[in-house]
Structure 1
Amino acid sequence: MGGKGIKDLYGKAHLLAVITIIYNLVEGVASMGLGAADETLALFGFGVDSFIEVISAVGVWHMLGRIRINGEEERDRFEQTALRITGGAFYILTAGLIASAVINMVQHHKPETTLWGIVISSVSISFMWLLIRQKMKVGKALSSPAILADAACSRACLYLSLVLMAASVGYELTGIGSLDAIGALIIAYLSWKEGKEAFGKAAGLACSCSCSCHD
């Protein structure tokens, strides 16, 4: 592959990182606002998770810009700091979701509706599926572990969307309030895993984000 082809692929990867940041910001605002309005913990927690993903995506965006210049994939101090902040934020989210879910279950709390959870998770599943395909395509073409790891992290977001979808649909079909809390607990578990992996990557461990980056 010629130099121009490689440059174009890195340019595409950089654009995909920007799209990821913008999408997560919009998704975070919508999910937190609607989750608070409808009193659905799973949707609210999903929104907070989206904001945390923005921090990680900014680190990826910075890294891709640096790789385009010098070709070095080792993380610099900025990216390591972003990963540590991401990991800490995920741990805080995990604790908050667990505490809130337990309180909601004890109080037999029910959301006003989870219809917005169904809508947002449907959009997220479709968008993340397309994003993952594009990131994997670029990552394989460049044989870039960094870009493939980013694709794996987007796949973790897809799993979160599937959890939100299941919890939201389950509540609408059954009216069982605890399903929203259970969905929040599963999101908390996945957030804890993402936090652990963020700290691991900051320490220089192999990428995973709940998935192999070589799939």
Structure 2
Amino acid sequence: MNTRLQKLYRAAQLLAFITVFYNVLEGVVSAWFGFEDESLALFGFGLDSFVEVVSGAGIWHMVRRQRENPDQAPDQFERGALRITGGGFYLLAAGLLGTAVYDAFQHHAPATTFWGIVVSLVSILSMWLLIQQKVKVGKELGSQAILADAACTRVCLYLSVILLVSSAGYYLTGIGWLDSAGALGIAWFSFKEGREAFGKASGIACSCS
């Protein structure tokens, strides 16, 4: 394997590691404050971060095996990483949909959404930086799985914007259903990206018999 490919694989592994580390931290913080403040949008955002952890771990494992087996077709690795990501998104979408509908009928409102505003602002900046690097490395390696991971990170950016709008909206107006609306927005993006990840997994040509 030439030096350029070695550098690209190292960069891909580093980005996957950063994704895992950052999203574990973000997931714990968001889920904790979301639970404490009874904010479904923030809690769901935390769960989405854990899906990012699964995606990042799958990509890291795939890249490591490809580096160790450069002559082996990588398709089966990429299929696995894409399906892990897709399955996690589907589970998250289903859970958020059911809970958001229940909370809306119960007229539930969070205690505060202050931490939702703080977390979303930090996440918007962090995810934007990660997306730029993942797309660059994914295109140079020609890896659908790394590009799918970048798309997963892009969804996290969109979700950060949804979290910011719903959290700031409730913080300024006190309208309780805005929190449930934010959770529904997160659920929709989660379902959409789960479907796309499975579609890419099915579309990758398999070279194994």
- Same fold, judged at TM 0.5 (above): yes
Q: Deviations over 1:139-178 (max 9, x none)?
A: 3444444433322221121111111111111111111010
Pick 1 or 2: higher relative contact order, CA cutoff 8 A, min separation 6. Answer: 2
Percent identity, aligned pairs only?
A: 60
TM alignment of 1:126-141, pairs within 5 A:
126-141=125-140
CA distance in 1, matches of 2:173, 2:198: 39
Normalising by structure 2, we get a TM-score of 0.87
Q: 1:86/1:150 Cα in 2 relative to 1: closer, same or farther (>3 Å)?
A: closer
Aligned residue pairs total 203
Which shows bigger deviation, 146-155 or 98-107? 146-155
Find the counterpart in structure 2 of residue 210 from structure 1. none
TM alignment of 1:1-215, pairs within 5 A:
3-69=2-68, 70=70, 72-76=73-77, 80-81=79-80, 83-205=82-204
CA distance in 1, matches of 2:132, 2:51: 22
Please give the root-mean-square deviation of Cα atoms over the aligned residues, in Å. Answer: 2.1
Normalising by structure 1, we get a TM-score of 0.85
CA distance in 1, matches of 2:74, 2:161: 31
* Long gaps (5+) in structure 1: 207-215
Q: Deviations over 1:87-131 (max 9, x none)?
A: 333223222212211221122111111111111111111001111
Following TM superposition, by how much is the alpha carbon of 1:28 offset from its aligned partner in structure 2, in angstroms? 0.9
Task: Please identify runs of 4+ aligned residues in structure 1 that moved more than 4 A.
Answer: none
Q: 1:102/1:144 Cα in 2 relative to 1: closer, same or farther (>3 Å)?
A: closer
Following TM superposition, by how much is the alpha carbon of 1:56 offset from its aligned partner in structure 2, in angstroms? 1.7
Q: 1:165/1:22 Cα in 2 relative to 1: closer, same or farther (>3 Å)?
A: same
CA distance in 2, matches of 1:95, 1:56: 18
Find the counterpart in structure 2 of residue 212 from structure 1. none
